[in-house]
Amino acid sequence: MEHTGKYSISTDRKTSEKTVDSSASVKPNGKSIDASVTVMKPNEKAAVSSANPMNPDAATALSSARVDQVMLFRDVSHCPREADLRFRLIHFWEARNPNTKTLIGQEMLLIDEEGTVIQGFVPAGRVGTFDLVAGSVYNLSNFFGSRSKNQYRVADHVATVSFSWNTSLAVVENPPVLIPDDRFRFHNYEEFKANCNSRGDLYDYVDHMKLVNGQRITDHMILDEVDIAEKRHLCVHVQTHDGPVMKLYLWDKAAADLCQKFKSYGSTPSVLLVTTVNPKHLGVTLALTSMSSSRVFMDVDVQPTKDYLEWLNSNSDIANRVAAEVVTKPETMTLEELFSYIKQDSSKVAWFECMATMYDVVQGSAWYYISCGGCNSKAVNVPTSLICNNKKCVKTEANGGVGADHCVPVPQALLDTIGQSRKFIMKVSDHNLIGKTQTITVTKILPPEASLPSTVGVESGSSGSSGDTAGDRARKADEILEADEAKRPKSN
């Protein structure tokens, strides 16, 4: 029997453990067997290959040594390995083709005892073979170290642990070493801005919430889960410390998780942490969107949210200094571009800024509705009072003795805008998308000092001097996501 081999020894400064990378091979009958990386603890005697298998003491020593024959993630490279890995499964999710919805495989996020995070992958043919539970510790034998993908990476490591045909996976009930529960990679506004639309690494984001689907964060906040489920997403205005306000779009499972956490808390949560978000430009604004790999944490779920909540409670004056509605600007469009946007099949409910000249106000028509003082929903006339149309509000208001057919005069402030060029905040509503009506709801008229000179009239339909075509500007509209994410299947 021939015994040849090379050995290199490196010392881990943090744990004082020695890693022995053995490429020794024993060749009985001409066949070679690759040895695994062995982690030797201080003052521990390693079992050697020359031990007599008939000697019980030698067999016990060999068995004891095999417990620590695990490879660390930092030693994983681009090649097949007949080695063992011991790790905690942080998270797993399905990877599907965005167009055909075909299952590509199952992706995983793994962490070892050194806190190194690596991505794992189970090919489609083996999905369902392994019983995976997030948070559990596993021992994996035999794998292929493949090259990490360039787009949408969720870990820093250059390799991915890919399951091969002979991979085996077993739960470790009582791990001999402590393995961290999780690890996050945070980015701030400037870093996300620099990586916008790059489709590169997906980083984590922790913040405090300003608005959820347009609603202010209040103690009695209620989310419309049915509407969120139908639309498959929700929008959160978020802000990090005293940084700019951004829009964060949560899709599918991430949106459902946020709704469930809102319900589970005794009071409305303030801090939000979302992992592996994708920065992109939606119109002129920087926004973050969740991915299939995203997870949602709030307030006291994990240590980073606890730390942020502590800061938030001690710095409420800084946190409340910026209003989300002021910082997050709607997309600017001309009226012609606005109507082009409405005609698109991919258009959604959104708000836009339009410069226009007010020519006249038609009086005596139902151009407005009376809103509830509590939630701003439409108030319905009954014989003696007004009742909020929002079933969750159920607020009753006095009608002041005025009958239901009473004609309310047009506000003087609105009449004063006739003949002036102003900037209007326009809302494209469901009735525009379904009924194809050209009646646009004006939600706000900005004061003259906030307006710019305009050559656009309400009735002119002029597209102005924009460099982009109406179709180009519409594609950049607010709340329109790229096709590879908007068409992706629902996450499990």
pLDDT tens for each residue of 48-70: 333 344 444 544 343 344 445 79
Distance (Å, rounded) from C-alpha 104 to C-alpha 96?
Answer: 5
Q: Is 348:479 a contact under the CB 8 Å cutoff?
A: yes
pLDDT of residue 208: 93
Query: Could you tell me the two tokens for 339?
Result: 């109507």
Residue with tokens 């905040």: 425
Report pLDDT for 143. 95
CA distance 269 to 254: 16
At 234, the amino acid letter reads L
Tokens encoding 273? 């942490």
Task: Please report, rounded to a whole number, the percentage of residues in the chain having pLDDT higher than 90.
Answer: 35
For residue 330, pLDDT over 60 is answered with yes
Give the model's pLDDT for residue 94.
93
Express each pLDDT in 149-203 by its tens digit: 888 999 999 999 999 999 999 999 999 999 999 999 999 988 998 988 898 899 9
Quick: pLDDT tens for 176-189: 999 999 999 999 98
- Looking at mean pLDDT, say which of 262-271, 349-358, 455-464 comes out highest: 262-271
pLDDT higher than threshold 50 for residue 220: yes
Q: With a cut of 50, say whether residue 439 has pLDDT above it.
A: yes
Residue 352, pLDDT score? 82
Mean predicted confidence (pLDDT) in 432-444: 76
Element (H, E) at 337: helix 335-343
- The alpha carbons of the chain give a radius of gyration, in whole angstroms, of 30
Tell me the range of 42-51, 205-214, 472-481 where mean pLDDT is highest: 205-214
Cα–Cα dist 26/65, whole Å = 18
Phi, psi (rounded to 5 degrees) for 465: -110, 30
Can you tell me which residue has the tokens 């710095």?
315
Amino acid at 469: T
pLDDT tops 90 at residue 277:
yes
Q: Is the pLDDT of residue 472 over 60?
A: no
pLDDT in tens, 253-262: 999 999 999 8
The answer to whether residues 353 and 329 touch, using CB atoms and an 8 Å cutoff, is yes
Contact predicate 390/372, CB 8 Å = yes
Q: Which residues contact 467 (CB under 8 A, 6 or more apart)?
A: none
> E strands, 254-359, where?
271-282, 285-289, 296-298, 331-332, 350-357
Please give the Cα distance from 233 to 235 (Å, whole number): 7
What is the distance between the alpha carbons of residues 150 and 144, in angstroms, rounded to a whole number?
18
pLDDT at residue 312 greater than cutoff 80? yes
Q: According to the model, what pLDDT value does residue 379 have?
A: 72
Contacts of residue 212, defined as CB under 8 A and 6 or more positions apart, other chains included, come to: 221, 223, 234, 235, 236, 237, 258
Q: Which structure tokens are listed for 162?
A: 């890919």
What is the Cα–Cα distance from 78 to 164, expressed in whole angstroms?
13
Whether the pLDDT of residue 123 is over 60: the answer is: yes
Give pLDDT tens digits for 235-254.
Answer: 999 988 878 888 899 999 99
Residue 256's nearest CA partner among 231, 286, 239 is: 231
Pairwise pLDDT comparison (148 vs 406), residue with the higher score: 148
pLDDT tens track for 19-29: 333 333 333 33
With beta carbons less than 8 A apart as the criterion, state whether 283 and 338 touch: no
The residue ranking higher by pLDDT, 248 or 38, is 248
Distance, in Å, from the CA atom of 454 to the CA atom of 353, rounded to the nearest integer, reads 12
pLDDT of 111 > 90? The answer is yes
The residues that bridge with 388 in the sheet, in sequence order, are 379
Instruction: Show the tokens assigned to 72.
Output: 């660390």
Mean predicted lDDT score pLDDT of the chain: 74
* pLDDT for the residue numbered 121: 96
DSSP-derived letter for residue 280 is E
65 versus 130: the higher-pLDDT residue is: 130
pLDDT of residue 388: 74
Confidence band of 387 (pLDDT split at 50, 70, 90) = confident
**Beta bridge pairs of residue 81:** 143
CA distance 184 to 302: 10
The torsion angle over the Cα atoms of residues 88, 91, 96 and 101, rounded to 10 degrees, is 140
Beta bridge partners, 167, equal none
- How far is residue 27 from each of residues 3, 30, 52, 367, measured CA to CA in Å? 7, 5, 17, 89
What's the mean pLDDT in 376-387? 68
